[in-house]
Structure 1
């Protein structure tokens, strides 16, 4: 199977929240962010912090390259760079982003990143990339340790860094703001005793991190998922008691939605194991986080297996296959089929990916292909090979292997010696819109459409296409439509 480095989708890391993010909440608790303080969110994602602040009488604005690209990057007393540095895969761009955000802050820059102090083993679906990892969602994460985070900021900004909490740093540009922060922290220590205040702050910090992960997982974090899990047990006596104690801190809608997604993801993971294991799967084959999902959402592995087998039986219903095709955000969808390039297959509905895996079990291991065709009205999956897909504007089909799943049979067609092979048009339709070459292919298709070349009979084969171009006095140069001379 042909593979390539997945396109990095930074916007997928923008989490939908209904509460203030941790760094913004800290600013308010520390008495630094007031209703009189101009606040700017650099990389604001979907803008929940800005909306909540403005609804409550604060003065807040923001900019994001994906969700708010038309907004201006403007100076402010306080600038927030929240969980942005860790999703940038290019170290130089990471440094530039930090410097740009710092330049906008007149009094305080707040920086927050994801922390993994213990550098755990990579989770399922993660792969090393540069100085971080690529996730199964085609996002990049650069995790820092707490000490590394502080050193990184100090070196890049050449100034004193004050850690407000785990993964949150204050970079003061105003002495008045620095003194205000220290005075607020010192006052808390005097009121209850410095040692007691520090212990209370640490407890709240750990509990806050546990609650945040609870929201992310849709369930209480288990042993091996939360670095300070034993602290939670010592504090509350049991995980159940901890869960009960934080109920008022939870957004039930967020937890329920994440639980639904996690349950479905666990089912899909077991489906993959069943397909690859020819009907067999073991609990120990699941990643740790999926094992916790199974225990919480299914009760035991037997129940999860039964649910996964029922899901696989759904392939017997072609109406369900058609539904998965309609749900796909990638691929060229036709009345009877969907065509997806292998560069984008990982973005198709996971059950379509599993259907492809079922078909892959039948074909020879050395088969080369780069487009998958999934039938809507039959149990057919076809693997097509266009060797020059990215090189040629209209690549020719070299060969196709059709898998007849209901008959466990194969049909191969060889076009490599054909004088008039099938060719492709509108290549962008086989790819996801964030693909690096999507725009290039789209521009060619638009030009051919405007010239009245597409939709003509017979152009799906090379000779007829070349004859049409000649009749209309056009030629293709690279991925550009050009008028012929004379």
Structure 2
């Protein structure tokens, strides 16, 4: 492999990091970086990610043409190419660099770049296909779909957008599907077991949540040992006698819908053969469908429904969660899995296409056109009327993305009727309902066009002689 020659001025783009970069943090959260996997940060700059990963117990190493040119380049399970593609001004060299990083990866390449919505932060003159700054550094800002398509073109594999500006390219198709399944059908969380009785209880819990008995390969090894003296028939009988039939039926329905959702997302992203599916998903297909063909046909129909405006609007009207406005449905992160399956598919397709941001509180699903926004209200749980911090949107028709920051805004939009964004059984719903009822009674919602921003809301509080103390509305004392 020929190492690319990198111009020295690119070193000026390397920054000192006190914590993990966004791509590294995403890969850790997605369980792509694990203690038993080796990691190479290709173009590591000052090595901040390498040191942070080593501190977490990872087998991490780095190479950089300026800061660590003598480091040995070795293949690794996970290779990071973090904000490198955007600083290379020569398109041919840029391509060679991406290819070199891909060649070094045994399991997954994590490629990241700055996106076009950061244009206001980059000052410079047009140069080639990017900008040349006053410091003689180069920036090519990518569209979210442009980055994903570019990585797919060079690597020759289907990729997944893990977060805005972060793309995963897997060496093995099975690994890609396992990652998708992890996002849509998370692995079972098993109850702790110390003896045969508690192990049986854990299997019962699994059956009630998944709707089927687990295969031996799915059971954690220590638990399998506790159950090894029971025959399959005995275990089946014990579970049948102990499980709540209603919960099992609910688990069957939930897993069937989750499987359809996974297959529909996979079709949106390019579907593989049955043998490439994660083992647990294969078992779900066998348990709840007559064949893989039938499951695929049903998921195909689900994906087609996503294009039907009337069907999508009907699903929004029928949804038991979320706040429906004349233009969109707003749903809190904690309630997203309670949406009708077609709306979950809507949000998942957007996340696969452009990446779901790490920090978000409410998803906004437009019913006029197809666009999803992830809105960040960091104080949703503590502020009775949380202020928005940022918004990231992807248009599913054009795959164009946009980002808006409200950090410096003097009059930010805020939320009312917080309970409407949550599932009915959410622990905070009743407390939020009581606040809303008190505010309605006090006349605070008589002029809805005024209360959508900080200044307007504060003016209405003054007009009505009220103030907030936590989630309680009290009379003003001044």
Q: In terms of Rg, which structure is larger? A: 1
TM-score by length of 1: 0.48
TM-score, normalised with respect to structure 2: 0.49
